[in-house]
Amino acid sequence: MKDTIFVKPGQVAIEDVAKPTLQAPDDVIIRVVRACVCGSDLWGFRGQDDVAAHSQNSGHEAIGVVEAVGDAITTLVPGDFVIAPFTHGCGHCAACRAGFEGGCLSHADNFSDGAQAEYMRYQHGEWSLIKVPGKPEDYSEAMLKSLLALADVMATGYHAARVARVQAGDTVVVVGDGAVGLCGVIAAKMRGAKRIIAMSRHADRQALAQEFGATDIVAERDDAGVAHVMALTQGVGADAVLECVGTEQAVATAVKCGRPGATVGRVGVPHNPKMDLTPLFYRNTSIAGGPASVTTYDKKLLLDAVLKGEIHPGKVFTKSFKLADIQAAYEAMDRREAIKSYIIVA
Beginning with the edge strand found earlier in the chain, give each strand of the sheet holding 55-56 in spatial order: 11-16, 2-8, 55-56
pLDDT digits (tens, 9 = 90+) for 315-329: 999 999 999 999 999
Look at the pTM and tell me if it is higher than 0.85.
Answer: yes
**CA dist., res. 149 & res. 81, Å (int):** 15
Q: What pLDDT is attached to residue 18?
A: 97
CATH topology classification for 2-152+293-344: Quinone Oxidoreductase; Chain A, domain 1 (3.90.180)
Neighbours of 259 (CB within 10 A): 18
Whether residue 187 contacts residue 219, with contact meaning beta carbons closer than 8 Å, is answered with no
Q: What angle do CA 128, 130, 133 make, to 5 degrees?
A: 160
State in words which class domain 154-288 has: alpha beta
For residues 321 and 333, give the distance between their C-alpha atoms in angstroms, rounded to a whole number: 12
Q: Which residues of the chain have pLDDT under 50?
A: none
Three-state SS annotation for the chain? CEEEEEEECCEEEEEECCCCCCCCCCCEEEEEEEEECCCCHHHHHCCCCCCCCCEECCCCCEEEEEEEECCCCCCCCCCCEEEECCECCCCCCHHHHCCCHHHCCCCCCCECCCCCECEEEECCHHHHCEEECCCHHHCCHHHHHHHHHCCCHHHHHHHHHHHCCCCCCCEEEEECCCHHHHHHHHHHHHCCCCEEEEECCCHHHHHHHHHHCCCEEECCCHHHHHHHHHHHCCCCCEEEEEECCCCHHHHHHHHHHEEEEEEEEECCCCCCCCCCCHHHHHCCCEEECCCCCHHHHHHHHHHHHHHCCCCCHHHHEEEEEEHHHHHHHHHHHHCCCCCEEEEECC
Instruction: Calculate the alpha carbon distances from 244 to 108, 310, 344 in Å.
Output: 25, 23, 26
Q: Given this model, what pLDDT does residue 276 score?
A: 80
pLDDT in tens, 183-235: 999 999 999 999 999 999 999 999 999 999 999 999 999 999 999 999 999 99
Residues of each domain in the chain carrying CATH 3.90.180.10: 2-152+293-344
Helix pair 141-149, 153-163: axis angle to 10 deg: 40
The predicted pLDDT at position 74 comes to 98
How confident is the model at residue 181, as a pLDDT? 98
Region(s) of the chain under CATH 3.40.50.720 = 154-288
